Amino acid sequence: MTKDIVVVTREMPDTWRLLAGLYAAGPDQYLASVADGAVIQLTGAGGRPLVSVEAPVLVQVPGETARLLGRDAARAEPVWWTEVRASTAVPEAVTLAGSVAGRLALLLDGACHPAHAVTTLGVVPVDSEVAAAPAPHEALPAVDVVTDKAAVVISDRSPVALSAWLSDVLRVCVATDRALQIVSPPGARLSLPVRLALGGTPNRWVVGDSSGYYDGLSGAELHWHDGAFTPLAAPDGAGRVAPAFRPSSPTADRQFTVSYRTLHAPDADLAVGASVEAAWRELTGAPPAGWGTAEPVNLPWSPRQLTELARERAPRPTFLAVTGHPDRPALAVLRISRTAAGVEEDVTLAIGHGPGEELPLDKAESLARTLVARHGLASMVTGVRAARRDLTVPAAFEAPPVPVSYTLGSAAVAETTLTHARRPPLPGRPVQLGAAGAPALHYPLGDGTDAASWAALETLTTHLARRPA
Q: Is the pLDDT of residue 130 over 70?
A: no
Q: CB–CB of 344/239 below 8 Å?
A: no
Question: Higher model confidence: residue 237 or residue 431?
Answer: 431
Nearest to 374 by CA among 257, 258, 269: 269
Residues 274-310 pLDDT 10s: 999 999 999 999 999 999 999 999 999 999 999 999 9
Mean pLDDT across 355-377: 96
Mean pLDDT across 75-85: 90
pLDDT category, 41, cuts 50, 70, 90? confident
Q: Name the β-bridge partners of 349.
A: 258, 332
Mean pLDDT across 346-374: 96
Question: Higher model confidence: residue 179 or residue 141?
Answer: 179
Contact residues for 431 (Cβ-Cβ < 8 A; gap 6+): 365, 441, 442, 443, 444
Per-residue pLDDT at 247: 77
pLDDT category, 196, cuts 50, 70, 90? very high
Chain-centre distance for alpha carbon 419: 40
Mean pLDDT across 1-28: 80
Per-residue pLDDT at 266: 85
CATH 1.10.287 fits 1-140, yes or no: no
* Global pTM value: 0.91
pLDDT category, 450, cuts 50, 70, 90? very high
Mean pLDDT across 168-176: 88
Q: Is the pLDDT of residue 206 over 80?
A: yes
Per-residue pLDDT at 460: 96
pLDDT category, 374, cuts 50, 70, 90? very high
Mean pLDDT across 1-29: 80
Which of 103-117, 121-135, 380-394, 449-463 is the least confident region? Answer: 121-135
| Mean pLDDT for the chain overall | 89
Extents of the domains making up the chain: 1-140, 143-231+241-246, 254-465
pLDDT category, 80, cuts 50, 70, 90? very high
Per-residue pLDDT at 132: 56
Per-residue pLDDT at 248: 72
SS3 sequence of the chain: CEEEEEEEECCCCCHHHHHHHHHHHCCCCEEEEECCCCEEEEECCCECEEEEEECCEEECCCCHHHHHHCHHHCCCCCEEEEEEEECCCCCCHHHHHHHHHHHHHHHCCCEEECHHHCCCCCCCCCCCHHHHCECCCCCCCCCCEECCCEEEEEECCCCECCCHHHHHHHHHHHHCCCEEEEEECCCCEECHHHHHHHCCCCCEEEEEECCEEEECCCCEEEEEECCEEEECECCCCCECECHHHCCCCCCCCEEEEEEEEEEECCCCCCCCCHHHHHHHHHHHCCCCCEEECCCCCCEECCHHHHHHHHHHHCCCCEEEEEECCCCCCEEEEEEEEEECCEEEEEEEEEEEECCCCCCCHHHHHHHHHHHHHHCCEEEEEEEEECCCCCCCEECCCCCCCEEEEEEECHHHHHHHCHHHHCCCCCCCCCEEECCCCCCEEEEECCCCCCCHHHHHHHHHHHHHHCCCC
Percent of the chain at pLDDT exceeding 70 = 93
Per-residue pLDDT at 73: 73
Which of 15-24, 58-67, 444-453 is the least confident region? Answer: 15-24
